[in-house]
Structure 1
Amino acid sequence: MKYELIDKTKDYLVINKPAGLLTHGAPHIKEPSLVDQLIKDFPEIIGVGEDPERPGIMHRLDKMASGILVIAKNMDSFDSLKKQFKERTVKKEYSALVFGKLEKDEDDINFPIKRSSKGFKMAALPATKDGKDNKDGRRAMTHFWVNKRFFHYTLINVAIKTGRTHQIRVHMSAYGHPLVGDDVYGTKKTRIKNKKINLGRIFLVARKLEFQNLKGETVKYEIDLPTELKEFLDTIK
């Protein structure tokens, strides 16, 4: 599977990563990745950044999710984007389909997140038994608002102010509404439903991205839902 090139400048690339493609590899993971494709198409990104295994990569998307990513093509762009991500001035918006009907039209989820004892998973940490905030995990902030309610599902828009691993998936699961297609953070009941649905991916798309280029200009990018997700929504109307 191949990424879609949305924009190309002398300083950065904006691409649409398909579901099923790793953003980047790791020492224990040996399979094709987005980085492999980018190095082949744009060898100038080699050496950009702080990790030779992830040249130009500013942020990532889970393998079975899809959507917009910005890739730095030189160190000036990398440093600028890194600063913007650190200061949380980069705006990212996602579309997700969750199981069940959300009662609130919008809400904030601020459960801290830490790596679970199972290693490959993350865990949200709701308030302790005495009602106090749980201090064990890393701060994580997710805001969602309802796009459309279906009989058994809710389509939501999501904005995150932090970028923790699997943040949206973990938070929505802890909120009681796992993402469609997500067996890792789903329940036994939703895993059975996922098997019947057979979507082949997680219903999570990074649809909007906004940041400043090196000229100080605000640039905005937006994509539509992939065809397979539109078609699935048509079946549940």
Structure 2
Amino acid sequence: MNKEIKALKKERIDLYLVFVLDETRSQIQAKIKKNLILVNNNQVKPNFVLNIGDLITIKEEEKIDYLKAINLDLEVIYEDNYLAVINKPQGLITHPGHSYQGITLINGLKYLFPKLSNFENDPLRPGVVHRLDKETSGIMIIAKDEEAHKLLKEAFQRRKIQKVYEAIVHKPFLETTFTIDLPIKRHELKRQKMAVNLEGRKALTKGFLISQTDKYSYLKLELITGRTHQLRVHLSYIGHPILGDEIYGFKKDTNRLYLHAKAITFNHPITKKELRFETKLPNYFIEKLNELRLI
């Protein structure tokens, strides 16, 4: 059922609705972009300025069954009775949460795998051992079995799983290899962001230059620790934000984030055999490398 309210003051619509609805600004902006919020029956942008008396229509969003099996054409790189390794496409959220209950990777996993782990009884994250940001593409391990999930989680915590990423970043580097050892903590004012903070948790990133021009660099990155947004925060802090990173980099420099989880190496939790898997770069990533003359 739609809800209609009249604006009582002149203000940006996203800011105005924060105080009217029990939702965050980012949730309101997402609804505006989906055309679920109209002004005088017209589509608007999140920065639209209301006038007194404007009629705001808030449409009810269609609820998605976040555990429904949906064919998302996910690439399965490896599978056995205990785990699977998949290639997550860019633009897909890993699992639903309070701020998002639309289609996620979980729907695709439920379609592919009849059995997924239910470790720690979390119904929103069946099989999810680790996450990738929505805009990050690439390789992920999925657990089918509770024991495998537990052991994989412990391996991540003990830094026994090697994760390699590739990224396009702004500006050339003076060195061909580098290490960033800077602690990370949630931003004190902008709670959806992370930031370098001496009181934060240890975060370690290793980088290797693949190629560069006078404006951009193409990097291989090893994630030694796995903090939220670690690569994005670290690279931005040293003056080389990832291309397309609107949160930690430059606004509107491109319509995609050029960060890809390329490879992962780990010991199988049950057989103990060392496994290594690698994914190809997405076509749009290769096209951008060519466009920027990085390959």
Q: Cα offset for 1:41?
A: 2.5
Q: Which residue identity is paired with 1:191?
A: K
**Corresponding letter in the other structure for 1:63:** K
Tell me which of 236, 245, 251 is aligned to 1:191. Answer: 251
The offset of 1:207, in angstroms, is: 0.4
Give the 3-state SS of the residue equivalent to 2:115 in structure 1.
Answer: helix
1:39 matched residue in structure 2: 110
* Identity level (%): 36
Count of residue pairs brought into register by the alignment: 220
Q: 2:95 aligns with which of 15, 20, 24?
A: 24
Residue 174 (structure 1) aligns with: 237
1:56 and 1:50 map into 2 onto residues whose CA distance is 11
* CA distance in 1 between partners of 2:153 and 2:121 (Å): 11
**1:229 corresponds to 2:285:** yes
Secondary structure of 1:7 counterpart: strand
Q: Secondary structure at the match of 1:206?
A: strand
Q: Distance in 2 between matches of 1:104 and 1:51?
A: 44
* 1:104 match: secondary structure: coil
What is the aligned partner in structure 2 of residue 211 from structure 1?
266
Please give the alpha-carbon distance, in whole angstroms, between the structure 2 residues aligned to 1:232 and 1:122: 27
Partner deviation per Cα, 1:49-68 (whole Å, 9 max, x = no partner): 55221111111111011000
Higher RCO structure (Cα 8 Å, ≥6 apart) = 1
Q: Which amino acid aligns with 1:204?
A: L
* Corresponding letter in the other structure for 1:80: L
> Which residue of the partner structure matches residue 44 of structure 2?
none
Correspondence for 1:71: 142
Secondary structure of the structure 1 residue equivalent to 2:214: coil
User: Which residue, 178, 182, 192 being the options, matches 1:120?
Assistant: 192
1:95 corresponds to which of 166, 181, 184: 166
Distance in 2 between residues matched to 1:111 and 1:27, nearest whole Å: 30
**What is the distance in 2 between the residues matched to 1:25 and 1:14?**
20
1:21 is aligned with what amino acid?
Answer: L
Equivalent position to 1:6, from 77, 80, 91: 77
Which entry has the higher C-alpha Rg, 1 or 2? 2
Residue deviations 1:91-138 (CA, integer Å, cap 9, x gap):
10000110000111111111111111111111113xxxxxxxx2x111
Q: CA deviation at 1:40?
A: 2.8
Residue-by-residue CA offset, 1:63-85 (whole Å, 9 max, x unaligned): 01100000010012112211211
Aligned 1:137-156 pairs, distance under 5 A: 137-156=200-219
Partners of 2:289 and 2:230 lie apart in 1 by 24
When the two chains are superposed, the root-mean-square deviation of aligned CA atoms in Å is 1.3
Q: Which runs of 5+ in 1 are unaligned?
A: 126-133
TM-score, with length taken from structure 2: 0.72
- Cα distance, 1:201 vs structure 2: 1.9
Q: Deviations over 1:143-169 (max 9, x none)?
A: 111011123100011011111100000
The 8 Å contact of residues 117 and 145 in structure 2, kept in 1 or not, is answered as: no
- The 1-side partners of 2:171 and 2:75 are apart by 32
Of residues 260, 265, 276, the one that matches 1:220 is: 276
Equivalent pair of 1:39/1:46 in contact (CA under 8 Å): no
SS state at 1:43 partner: coil
1:235 is aligned with what amino acid?
Answer: E
Residue of 162, 165, 174 corresponding to 2:225: 162
1:3 Cα deviation (Å)? Answer: 2.3
Q: Which runs of 5+ in 2 are unaligned?
A: 1-71
